[in-house]
Structure 1
Amino acid sequence: MEFVAKVVECVNTFLWDYALLILLLGAGIIYSFSLKFIQVRKFGAGMKALFGNFSLHGGKGENGLSSFQALTTAIAAQVGTGNIAGAATAIASGGPGSIFWMWVSAFFGMATIYAEAVMAQHTRKLENGHYVGGPVYYIKYVFKGRFGKFLAGFFSVAIILALGFMGNMVQSNSIGAAFNNAFHVPKLAVGICVAVIAGIIFIGGIKRIASFTEKIVPIMALLYIIGCLVILVMHLPGVGTAFKDIFVGAFAPQAIAGGALGVTVQKAMRFGVARGLFSNEAGMGSTPHAHATAEVKDPCDQGIIAMMGVFIDTFIILTLTALVILSTGVLGNGQTGSELAQSAFNVGFGNFGNIFIALCMLFFAFTTIVGWYYFGEVNVRHLFGNGAVKVYAVIVVICVIIGSTLKVDLVWDMADMFNGLMVLPNLIALLGCLAIVRKLTKKSEKSKEK
């Protein structure tokens, strides 16, 4: 087991410290220039579509979801415990400047996720009365023959393991730990409750999943945003200092406290880009499964609204977490991850900070479990057929229960590894789709000019 752990550690170091930073950021830059910075040009249209489609009661489509439902299902997966722990880890390891590089990665990531959503729409299929799509469909669309089948199969196996099984263990562990700390409830009891509720939602299929996410996602986002804003108002003088530290730390970390901790520009960039991309999932191949289900007239319309998911995840929720940590002055206390974030909320809310974080962890992690389950389900159907879905659902429920009580570092590291591995075939396909996405975008924009 020690040998396996070392191999996993080496693979993770190569993927997350080097390969994926270059590939994910590179893909975002290529798409940004190729599409004439569509994330800027169509930002207003995206916000208008987001609020124009806002609904808690779904759409009228028979074969798919409303555009808003598809977005909330995607955001359910994007906004997870990484929005609390991820920002804290980046700041603790890369200094305040890492947040600036998070913004940079998210900016270019908006173009990448646009391409993912457009291709998911363009290559989706109608199966069993419902639209399904995702990377496995556009991988085989771009690459014919054995190579395409291999890449699609590799992606499917990686995402099932990374998100469906191991990833959901990570999320349930966060819920169990948070509730145990705040309310002293046994972790196993929390895990069983979460698993039962999740199982009921799983059984209902994509329609029930979407019905759940369209109601819960806006509530959880609003709850967290209000909580963060209250703390920022209470520590208003520290907010200006926080922004200053972010911009100075991005280019001259030695000029602030982070410099004394050995933080360099390269380190700030590495942790900021890595945690930002890991959180908003742009280019990772997960959210296209949700965007493929939206009933829209034009694939590019869903691509535009998909960009709003990255904006909400990184520029709003992750940024608020970072500002709370920096303005409350808890950075440098030796803590990292969710513990550092929890300390910041305790400064703002006192003992209620633990309760607030527990509730947020419940919302964030549970919606991620639901979203990740569905992404895995699409790939289980693709590999093994409809008959395997029930078996998959049972395994996920068991993983949720086990994950709430047991934290094995190797399992967590393997989740990161498979998460990274599933990005590779998706990015190869996206780069192969560049001409198609550009053609569809030009066609869409010309039709709207008439």
Structure 2
Amino acid sequence: MESLVKLTGDLDSFMYTYLLIIILLAAGIYFTFASKFVQLRMFAESLRVIMEKPSKEGSVSSFQALMVSTASRVGTGNIVGVASAICTGGYGAVFWMWIIAIIGGSSAFVESTLAQIYKKKDPEGNFYGGPSYYIEAALHSRPLALLFAVSMLITYAGGFNMLCAYNLQSTFSGYSFYDPSTSPVIIGIVLAGLFGFCLWGGGKRIISTTSALVPFMGALYVLISLVVILLNIGNLPMVFGKIFSEAFDFQAIFGGFTGSAIMMGIKRGLYSNEAGVGSAPNAAAAADVSHPVKQGLVQMLSVFIDTLLLCTATAMMCLCSGIAPNADLAGAPYVQAALQSTLGTFGPVFITVSMILFAFTTLIGNYYYTGNLLNYIHKGVPSQTFLKCFRVICTFIVFFGAIAQMDLAWNVADILMGIMAIINLPVIFILHRVAFRAEKDYLQQKAEGKNPVFHSSTVGLEGKTDCWEEGMHI
């Protein structure tokens, strides 16, 4: 096990030091300037379109698609991931999480708009799509599309759900009843059982469950965070000062880049908001909207909800508490210690409840993505026997994650997520002009006082899409 931890740790460090930091920043910066800061310029419009109703009753709305992708984004990473980044990389990690979110909004817009443009419709009238579909349709490379589908399947059903289970059980480590030799096993059995029970409810049940839980848990978490910050308001200037000073302490950063503020901020920021990774487009494609840009704007908003709101809430709540971050407290123990210092015994209990809700919605949100991937790999819906076996494997992975080591769980998740980004970001760079032409068409129709309706011919794709041909109003 120690050898496996070291191997995954070395691979993780190599990927994020020499590959992903360059690809992520370059893509985000390029899309930001090429789109003339779409994430800021169209922010108000994204708030408006989020509440639009689908044209067909029973279809997935923009809001529901947002909640599914947010259920995956808004998870244990918002608590444990942020706390780990601060304890390992210092105050400056918060600044780099903000940067990844701001520039990542443009990447999220491009990939989700593309997913809508190249989406498909099943016999029941439901939409589906994602990176695998726009890779095959636009680049005509099924092998590359299959590689992405398999990598995402392993990432979400495996790495992310394993890490989510670990993060949840680690929250209980601060309680007196916790026994390191038995508690992870017991928690793993309970969590895997609840997860498995939910899997047999079907896709519609997953959508309705996440739609109900995500707004509630997010609002409550932000509210408690604000209470803690207000009770420690005197520390806020110091916190902001250290965030910016440590973010640009280049001597400290390049003295130990692997655990630096930049590295930890980028890794945990990417894990939290997933902008450019290629996950959210799978949910975005399911929405019934009149124009692809609408869902691109909605998914862009999800990045901001996740990092600029929820991750910042965790960071400020912890740093304002007066408890200094250090490597020994990395993860849930730091958040619990910070809250206990301000709210007493209520603090750790609240974090435990939040982690349970976050973990549950993350697990089922991640599983929702796998259905679309399995359909693509099999060129149709897999057999019931296959799906039952797959659900059993997914359930076992959740149990294994609960009993895994912390470093192994994080390393595996980071590596698998990195592979997805390495495939998806170059693809959306190649195709980004299609998304920007769609945005130009959207703004032109808005200027004419119309509710924008998309046709593939307006972006030079006549005859190359399944749902947007002239006269084919979805």
| TM-score normalised by L of structure 1 | 0.90
Shift in alpha-carbon separation, 1:269–1:2, aligned structure 2, 3 A: closer
**Kindly tell me: are residues 235 and 423 of structure 1, through their superposed partners in 2, closer, same or farther at Cα, counting changes over 3 Å?**
same
The reply to whether residue 228 of structure 1 matches residue 225 of structure 2 is yes
- Retained in 2: the 8 A contact 1:182–1:355? no
Q: Which residue of 2 aligns with 1:169?
A: 162
Distance 1:2 1:352, change over 3 A: closer
Partner of 2:427: 429
d(CA) in 2 for partners of 1:224, 1:339:
17
* C-alpha contact (below 8 Å) 2:284/2:295 kept by paired residues: yes
Aligned equivalent of 2:28: 28
1:349 has 2:349 as partner: no
Decide whether the 8 Å contact of 1:65 with 1:207 is kept in 2.
Answer: no
CA contact (8 A) 1:180 1:187 kept: no
Amino acid aligned to 2:192: A
How much has 1:180 moved relative to structure 2?
5.9
- Quote the Cα distance in structure 2 between the aligned partners of 1:169 and 1:183: 25
Q: Cα distance, 1:7 vs. partner? A: 4.2
- Equivalence for 1:241: 238
From 113, 119, 128, the equivalent of 1:118 is: 113
Q: Which region of structure 1 is more displaced relative to structure 2, 438-447 or 407-416?
A: 407-416
SS of structure 2 residue aligned to 1:422: helix
Alignment of 1:14-413 (within 5 A): 14-50=14-50, 52-53=51-52, 61=56, 64-129=59-124, 130-144=126-140, 148-179=141-172, 181-182=174-175, 184=177, 186-252=183-249, 267-333=260-326, 334-384=328-378, 385-387=381-383, 388-407=386-405, 409-410=407-408, 412-413=410-411
User: In structure 2, how many angstroms separate the alpha carbons of the residues matched to 1:231 and 1:436?
Assistant: 45
Q: Secondary structure at the match of 2:392?
A: helix
Distance (whole Å) between structure 1 residues aligned to residue 366 and residue 207 of structure 2? 13
Percent of matched pairs sharing the same residue: 35
Q: Residues 414, 46 of structure 1: CA spacing in aligned structure 2 closer, same or farther, 3 A cutoff? A: same
CA RMSD in angstroms, aligned pairs only? 2.6
Once the two structures are overlaid, the 10-residue window that deviates more, 293-302 or 335-344, is 335-344
Deviation at 1:277, TM superposition (A): 1.6
Structure 2 equivalent of residue 10 of structure 1:
10
Q: For residues 407 and 72 of structure 2, what CA distance do their matches in structure 1 show?
A: 22
- CA shift in 2, pair 1:2/1:397, >3 Å: closer
1:443 counterpart residue number: 441
State how far apart, in whole Å, the 1-side matches of 2:11 and 2:135 are. 24
Residue identity in the other structure for 1:206: G
Q: Residues 361 and 266 from structure 1, CA distance in 2 versus in 1: closer, same or farther, beyond 3 angstroms?
A: closer
Task: State the secondary structure of the residue aligned to 2:127.
Answer: strand
Are 2:55 and 2:288, in contact at CA under 8 Å, matched by a contact in 1? no
Residue 367 of structure 1: CA displacement? Answer: 0.8
TM-score of the aligned structures, taking structure 2 as reference length: 0.86
Secondary structure, aligned partner of 2:79: helix
**Structure 2 counterpart of 1:236, one-letter code:** I
Aligned AA (2:39) = Q
Moved more, 40-49 or 112-121: 40-49
The separation in 1 between residues aligned to 2:357 and 2:56, in whole angstroms, is 27
Write the distance in 2 (CA, Å) between the matches of 1:7 and 1:260: 23
Residue ranges of structure 2 left out of the alignment (5+ in a row): 449-474
Distance in 2 separating the partners of 1:390 and 1:344? 42
Q: Contact 2:111–2:281 (CA<8 Å) still a contact in 1? A: yes
Specify the code of the residue in structure 2 equivalent to 1:91: I
Change in 2 beyond 3 A, CA 1:236/1:214 = same
How many angstroms does 1:166 deviate by?
2.9
Report what 2:458 is aligned to: none
Distance 2:190 2:423 in 1: 36
Give the direction of change, closer, same or farther, for the CA distance of 1:381–1:160 in structure 2 (3 Å limit). Answer: same
Q: What secondary structure sits across from 2:36 in the alignment?
A: coil
Structure 1 or 2: more helix by fraction: 1
Q: For residues 340 and 423 of structure 1, what CA distance do their matches in structure 2 show? A: 29
Mapped contact 2:159–2:416 kept (Cα < 8 A): no
Superposition deviation, residue 59 in structure 1: 6.2
Residue 434 to residue 260, structure 1, CA distance change in 2 (3 Å): closer
The 1:330/1:32 distance shift into structure 2, 3 A limit, reads same
What SS does the corresponding residue of 1:16 show, helix, strand or coil? helix
- Following the alignment from structure 1 to structure 2, what is the Cα–Cα distance between the partners of residues 362 and 79? 12
Look up the equivalent residue of 1:169 and give its one-letter code.
Answer: M
Partners of 1:251 and 1:265 within 8 A in 2: no
1:304 to 1:336, Cα distance in 2 relative to 1, 3 A: same
For residues 249 and 240 of structure 1, the distance between their equivalents in structure 2, rounded to whole angstroms, comes to 14
CA distance in 2, matches of 1:142, 1:176: 43
**Which whole-Å CA distance do the structure 2 matches of 1:265 and 1:200 have between them?**
40
Determine if contact 1:95/1:253 at 8 Å carries over to the other structure: no
